[in-house]
Amino acid sequence: MIACVWVVAASLIGLSAVVVGANGSEQLMAPAHPGMVWIPGGEFVMGVTAPAVQICGPADAEDATPLHSVYVDGFWMDETEVTNEQFAEFVRATGYRTIAELPLSAEEFPQLTPEERRDGSLVFAAPEQTVPLVNYRAWWQFRTGADWKHPDGLGSDLTGRGRFPVVHVAYADAAAYARWAGKRLPTEAEWAFASRGGHTTARYLWDGDELAPGGKWQANIWQGHFPNQNTGADGFVGLATVKSYPPNSYGLYDMAGNVWEGCSDWYRRDTYESRSTTGPSRNPQGPAESLDPTEPGVLKRVQRGGSFLCSDQYCSRYVAGARGKGDVSSSTNHLGFRCIASIRVGVPAADVNRG
């Protein structure tokens, strides 16, 4: 270890970060863990300039306004969403059981029947015909036995899905994995900075203003009539394997589409409004409590990036700056996560994993 204070420079050498010592000398920083890339940090603008493009309800988009300045320190981030293979390693090592694998307790939910308290999770099921978009229950089903090992419910398994993002993980499950891995979940600000790839004005997270530049899809989202017909024009109907599309300029894959990604911040509709009145925020951790006026009393965390179910007809939250939210106790087959780690300095350059 070097006996001095290191200051992180916003630069990259391969997948390694440069740190500058008090005497001006430079040294490489090793990635905190394999499969992570360095995000240099800096000041950027959070929020969306055209909230009307998000369609999960005409008022929902207001939670991503107004635009405001935020600064985040540098950090390491998983280059992909956590996969089934990686989550399986965690479960083998710890014996962990996810919330979806556990039945609800009669003490906590006395109003439910034993059948209704069984283990399971929410699964998207495309209706056979057009349905009103105001009723999401028309395409979501609670399936007994659905969990990360059985993503479609009883009878399904992970055969051929090792490199798919792990799903049916609630917030506590993601946090438990992150602690085991020596990492943590990103704050919303950290996730938002990383998702931009250093580009601040593009409408989409693939550094452009076209949904499919040159006719090539850049993310796993919905094509066709939602929710009853997905043409799979992007190459997938349902989840995609990680790294199926080009990375952003930081080397991060699937920051838009595929699965929603959980952040550590509590969700409040007025977070951006409150923050915009205090000047640039440095490493904001989010509000102290959750409050969603549409469902008072339901604890929610921020989710970002959108999923394979996002469509320009319904919930186009794959656009840059858009926000999502989710009940901390719920899991679905379109919600996953990725982790980050704080910097490690003073590691000799010879020990750096250049990827």
Most confident of 17-21, 129-133, 172-176: 172-176
Confidence of residue 30 (pLDDT cuts 50, 70, 90): low
pLDDT of 42 > 60? The answer is yes
Q: What is the mean pLDDT of residues 210-232?
A: 94
pTM greater than 0.75: yes
Q: Domain 48-338 carries which CATH code?
A: 3.90.1580.10
Confidence of residue 18 (pLDDT cuts 50, 70, 90): low
Residue type, 169: V
341 against 51, higher pLDDT: 341
Listed residue (78, 101, 113) closest to 151, CA to CA: 101
Q: What is the pLDDT of residue 130?
A: 93
Q: What is the pLDDT of residue 344?
A: 55
Q: What is the mean pLDDT of residues 212-223?
A: 94
Question: Treating both helix axes as pointing N-terminal to C-terminal, what angle do 84-94 and 171-180 enclose, rounded to 10 degrees?
Answer: 70
Q: What is the pLDDT of residue 168?
A: 98
The residue extents of the domains of the chain are 48-338
11 against 49, higher pLDDT: 49
Q: What is the pLDDT of residue 278?
A: 79
What DSSP line would sit under 144-209, residue for residue? Answer: ET-BTTBTTSTT---TT-TTSBP-S--HHHHHHHHHHTT-BPPPHHHHHHHHHTT-SS-SBTTTBS
Query: pLDDT tens digits, residue range 222-264?
Result: 999 999 999 999 999 999 999 999 999 999 999 999 999 999 9
Q: What is the pLDDT of residue 89?
A: 98
Q: Give the β-pairing of 324-327 and 300-304.
A: antiparallel
pLDDT of 327 > 60? The answer is yes
Sign of CA dihedral 171, 88, 260, 332: negative
Q: What is the mean pLDDT of residues 3-21?
A: 40
